Chain A
Amino acid sequence: MDSKDSTFEQFLKTHEGKVLRLCYAMLGNRALAEEAAQEVFLRIWRALGAFRGEASLSTWVYTITRNACLTMIERTKTAAAESLTDPDILRRVQARELEQARREPQTDALAWLAELPESQRQALTLFYLEERSYKEVAAALGAPMGTVKTWICRGRRALVERRLQAELMEKSRSRT
């Protein structure tokens, strides 16, 4: 094993969690997050010799991760748009939407989280995964701390309102 390999192995151990959590927060899906994280580490492996230490290591890693996720989001959107021109897929999507509308209202916190605006969902996911550190969330998303605080507060408020609303509906249903 050469020195590049051992540096990379050490690097993987220390940054694996952070990269995966940011990918998961940005993409909202574990399978996609793992795919993106793999791409991130490949990019890092290729660029390991080129890192000059001008930015801090974690800033560098976060930038690569955000770029990889944005590429993946674009790719997923394009694939989704292409698949929606297929009448068979379109029919299945419409049928699933109808079925979902007919079902009981969602009471799963993860589902509510997924319904939040993208910036709030990403910030909140990281907030919970990074032990509620605003600083860490701001560094990972590359956004100002004040903005991140606003996203998190709005997101948590929206989730609590959803939960209280669901509890209220549950109570009224059990009474009738």
Chain B
Amino acid sequence: MKCEDWQELILEREQLELGQQTNLAQHLSSCEDCREWAKALAEMDASLTTQLIADLNPSVLPPRISRAVAREKIWMAGVPDFLEALGWSALWMLTMAGVLLWTNGRGWIGNHLFWAGAGTLAASLAWAGRVLWKDKSETRRLL
């Protein structure tokens, strides 16, 4: 076996069977190059383990995550209000579509756009009043 092959065994030393470990130990006692190689590997392993662990410590993650989750919760809490607004808008748009169809061709209603705009404004104000002034309004907290 060449030194390169013995070095492969050194890399997997912990997983070698007893016979292979004995052979490796015998080779190491007689080969200075492989001994030096094994020493360099052990030092490298130890040095990298220490440096990597030190680089990751101490962890400041949990408080940071708690803050991020708290922020997320506030946003999430506003979602029902937003969905409620969407529902109101959809309802209002359907009503307006119905009104516009019904009034189509009836001159006495006047300007359709004006009535649509006025209705939308009224519905928006109603929604704002309902959402912002209800008990425990998350949207109000957000604003």
Contacts and interface: CB of A to CB of B under 8 A. Distances in A.
Nearest to A124: B48
Interface of B: 7-8, 11-12, 14, 36-37, 40-41, 43-45, 47-49, 51-53, 55-56, 59-62, 64-65, 68-69, 72
A19 to B, nearest CB: 8
B11 A156 contact: yes
Interface in A116-147: 124-125, 128-129, 132
Interface string A146-176: 0000000100110110011001000000000
Interface of A: 8, 12-13, 16-17, 20-21, 24, 30, 33-34, 37-38, 41-42, 45-46, 109-110, 113, 124-125, 128-129, 132, 153, 156-157, 159-160, 163-164, 167
A167 B37 CA distance: 12
Contact of B56 (A8, A129, A132): A129
A128 B68 contact: no
B40 A41 contact: no
A132 B42 CA distance: 13
A41 B44 contact: no
B69 A30 contact: no
Contacts of A13: 62
Nearest to B47: A109
A-B complex: 6 closest residue pairs judged by Cβ atoms: A128-B49, A41-B65, A109-B47, A160-B40, A160-B41, A153-B11
A168 to B, nearest CB: 11
Nearest to B15: A134
A34 B45 contact: no
A13 B69 CA distance: 15
Contacts of A41: 65, 68-69
Nearest to A17: B59
Given A16-B62, A157-B7, A157-B11, A125 B44 contact: no
B62 A159 contact: no
A156 B44 contact: yes
B37 A45 contact: no
A20 B56 contact: yes
A38 B56 contact: no
B61 to A, nearest CB: 6
B52 to A, nearest CB: 5
Given A16-B59, A109-B44, 11 more contacts: A24-B55, A34-B60, A37-B61, A41-B69, A109-B48, A109-B51, A129-B53, A153-B11, A156-B41, A160-B40, A164-B40
